[in-house]
Structure 1
Amino acid sequence: MGTSASIVVAHGAAGSGYRMVADALAREITSLAGDTARVDVLDAHSFGPARFAGIPDDTLWSPETVGGVVRVFSTWALPRAYRRFAEKLVETKPLAVVCTHPLPAFVAAAAVASGRLKTTVVAVSANYGTP
């Protein structure tokens, strides 16, 4: 049986932990789904205006900082700033979007709420920062 469905595992590049968790989840989902679903790992930040490149950015953009920015702008600015990510999701038509970072979760949820995307959005806590 060929691959007919897609599942997206999305992370934010602000810190390596989000990507590591996304890769681990993708491997597990792939092993469970076998050849019935294709699993794509996407970095939501690569579709938006912000680029994160190593330790200086990881230090400046701590999980708490990024989380605060995401919460402040989640209702109106993020869906616009990351519309390329939302468009990728709409184009892919995944059965589910599993997010290890708040940013792709907010953008995917906004696409679902607007009616552009029909899928399930699952947010997995991957923030191991100190409160």
Structure 2
Amino acid sequence: MRPETTIPVVRRIPTNRDDAFAFTIEGHLSSADIENVYGLLEAAYEQHDKIDLLVRLDGYEGFDWNAAFKDTTFAMQTRSLKHIRRYAIVGGPAWVNACVGLLKPFLSIEMKTFDSAEEAEAWAWIGAAEVRE
């Protein structure tokens, strides 16, 4: 359990488009964190048939493997495939890029990985911008 004073592992990044969603992920994703992300995406799918998604992996430390293979998580992942147009992943470990390369031929969504230094290109690729508050 995380102390109350720590930054949440998953934080939403405001964007300039209603149908563009972005998150930053820092630290280790627990089962609750994964369900939180999919809950936020489910709410987006209620408003928009298709969305563009950017995920920034700053300080990403992996995820709870048990959560990734739960029936409910798998169902949420499958539903996401119907609603995402473009999915940009910024930063993260090298294995993320390798996994995207392996999965792309089997998915109906456009996925692309970017180095942390290429974040501006990732935003341009999904056609959105971060709104700084």
TM score, norm. by length of structure 2? 0.33
TM score, norm. by length of structure 1? 0.34
Higher RCO structure, 1 or 2 (CA under 8 Å, sep 6+): 1
Q: Which has the higher helix share?
A: 1
